[in-house]
Amino acid sequence: MTPRLTVLGAGVMGTGIATLVIAHGIPVTLVDIEPAVLERARASVDRQLRHAQLLGATPDGVAPGELTTSTSVADCAGSLAVIEAVSEHAEQKDKVLREVSGIVAPGTVLISNTSGIPIDELAASVERPGELVGIHFMNPPYLITQVEVARGPRTSDRTMESVRSLLDLVNRRGIVVNDAPGFVTSRLLHPMINNAARLVGQGVATAEDVDALMTGCLGHPTGPLRTADLIGLDNLADSLVALSERLGDAAYLPCEHLLDKVEAGQLGRKSGAGFYEYA
């Protein structure tokens, strides 16, 4: 029988990760506490899968895996691995990982898709800390072929071997980094986005001009503010707060312009508007 993966959290990242796994013929159980969120997530996965197929980002001759949705964390039992992709709040991640750890069999790899909460901090929530590792998937996971793997100080060699095997199954290359707040990608990218948003808020330049300068002069592939809209401005603000708290540096706190957009519900692509507007 084909091994099954469980993804916890049916938001932007959870649906993107589920799409990636299903595209490689592996069945997925997608878990969220809200039935309406799961209903939207199923439509989102179908849409993203078609997008990936149109762009040639799915393996040839592989039938998509089955997507099952559930509102019960108990349905993660028997999974090859469990990927936690809930909101970037330590308390929520702690609660979910603590519950999952008591359900899955020993040897089941637990993966947090945190963008910056240290893995060893999250390891305090699980019964077997050696089985917890971070994989920071970039959005959209079904198109970006490289991931950041965060190894905690208690993550075992066996877990790392399992992660390498799992990434091979979905044709992804992992770059392993040591545990730290923000790891590498968020520690570099998120402050840059925050500063770009600050410049727009101060009237120094428009979002379009900031992105044009970053793409045309400095080689950024999409521009920091288009990237922010893809990440989700609420997710970005949460990540910046987490970085500030763990590094003890107020310079990481989200700027006023970014917070104003979050307050106004302008969260990026997922809400139809952020720094840009979307159909």
Q: Which two tokens stand for residue 170?
A: 């979905």
Q: Which of the following is catalytic: 24, 136, 190, 257? A: 136
- H or E element, residue 253: none
- Helix spans in 24-156 (H): 35-54, 90-101, 119-123
Residue owning tokens 């986005």: 193
241 contacts 149 by C-beta, under 8 angstroms: no
Helical residues (DSSP H) of 136-204, grouped into ranges: 157-169, 185-201
Separation in Å, CA 38 to CA 8, 123, 133, 139, 268? 11, 28, 26, 19, 20
- 43 burial level (CB within 10 Å; 0-12, 13-18, 19+): exposed
Examine the residue annotation and report whether 136 is marked as an active-site residue of this protein: yes
- Cα separations in angstroms, 239 against 89, 182, 274: 8, 8, 17
Catalytic sites, residue numbers: 136
